[in-house]
């Protein structure tokens, strides 16, 4: 080493700011990542209210699915009975179900006007016994045609007797007045008469001749033309 180099020159630090120089005393600070703030929809989803809304929507979807399946099952049953509404009877009847060619089972009911009505009192006249209910859509659609047929064949002695199941006489009377039915109607609140006639679905129709013999049995709503054909044979045997 040359004696001309001073000791303090050996430890001289480079001047700051020169190109290529690194400041060993001040290390570079690491970059800070700022997480993006969640949007309004995400904040709602993460909140307790959002969780509750998700549960409610899920429950609604499941319920709608169940109702759709049940509705399909009901439509399938109705289709199997010609558009009628399937019903469940008490199953307490001790008499045999009616058969074509055999006598119809007698019964007594209280009409919607308060008068007692028995099937036997109409012996000597053709009788159309029809079971239905005001809550049955097929029955509601059919009764205007029944009324029209009644008015047409009434001069030939036809008796139409409507029996509404699972309803009281007040409901039957209100229904008859609202629709404009003039043929006798009565209530069968316990479905006891329907049980004796082995009604499996409504509307159900039993056509009984002047001797009290069942001549035809139909389940489901009847078209006006079908009504006329059956009644022509019933009143003009």
The predicted model gives 138-158 an average pLDDT of: 96
What's residue 80's pLDDT? 38
In sign, the C-alpha dihedral spanning 170, 175, 178, 182 is: negative
CB–CB of 71/162 below 8 Å?
no
For 98-109, how does the pLDDT look when each residue is reduced to its tens digit (9 = 90+)? Answer: 999 999 999 999
CATH fold of 108-235 = Glutaredoxin (3.40.30)
**Residue 224: burial class (beta carbons within 10 Å; 0-12, 13-18, 19+):** middle
pLDDT for 83 beyond 60: yes
For 11-50, how does the pLDDT look when each residue is reduced to its tens digit (9 = 90+)? Answer: 455 455 444 444 444 555 555 555 556 565 566 556 666 6
- The DSSP output letter for 217 is E
For 149-192, how does the pLDDT look when each residue is reduced to its tens digit (9 = 90+)? Answer: 999 999 999 999 999 999 999 999 999 999 999 999 999 999 99
Of how many residues is the chain composed? 237
CB–CB of 161/183 below 8 Å?
yes
CB–CB of 227/145 below 8 Å?
yes
Mean pLDDT over each residue of the chain, to the nearest integer: 79
What's residue 90's pLDDT? 81
**Where in the chain are the domains?**
108-235
Question: DSSP letters along 146-166, please?
Answer: HHHHHHHHGGGT-EEEEEEET
Q: Which residues of 226-235 are buried (b: 16+ CB within 10 A; e: fewer)?
A: ebbebbeebb
């Amino acid at each position: 080493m040359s004696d001309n180099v001073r000791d303090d020159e050996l430890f001289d630090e480079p001047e700051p700011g020169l190109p290529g120089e690194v400041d060993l005393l001040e290390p570079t600070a690491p970059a800070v990542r700022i997480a993006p703030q969640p949007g309004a929809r995400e904040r709602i989803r993460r909140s307790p209210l959002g969780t509750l809304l998700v549960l409610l929507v899920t429950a609604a979807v499941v319920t709608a699915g169940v109702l759709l399946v049940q509705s399909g099952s009901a439509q399938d049953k109705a289709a199997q009975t010609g558009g009628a509404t399937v019903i469940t009877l008490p199953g307490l009847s001790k008499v045999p179900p009616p058969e074509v060619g055999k006598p119809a089972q007698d019964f007594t009911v209280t009409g919607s006007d308060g008068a007692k009505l028995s099937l036997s009192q109409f012996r000597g006249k053709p009788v159309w016994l029809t079971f239905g209910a005001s809550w049955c859509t097929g029955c509601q659609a059919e009764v205007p045609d029944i009324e029209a047929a009644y008015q047409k064949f009434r001069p030939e002695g036809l008796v139409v007797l409507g029996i509404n199941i699972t309803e009281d006489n007040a409901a039957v009377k209100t229904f008859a007045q609202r629709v404009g039915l003039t043929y006798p109607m009565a209530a069968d609140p316990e479905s006891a008469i329907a049980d004796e006639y082995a009604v499996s679905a409504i509307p159900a129709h039993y056509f009984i001749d002047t001797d009290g013999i069942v001549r035809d049995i139909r389940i489901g709503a009847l078209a006006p033309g079908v009504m006329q054909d059956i009644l022509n044979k019933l009143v003009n045997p």
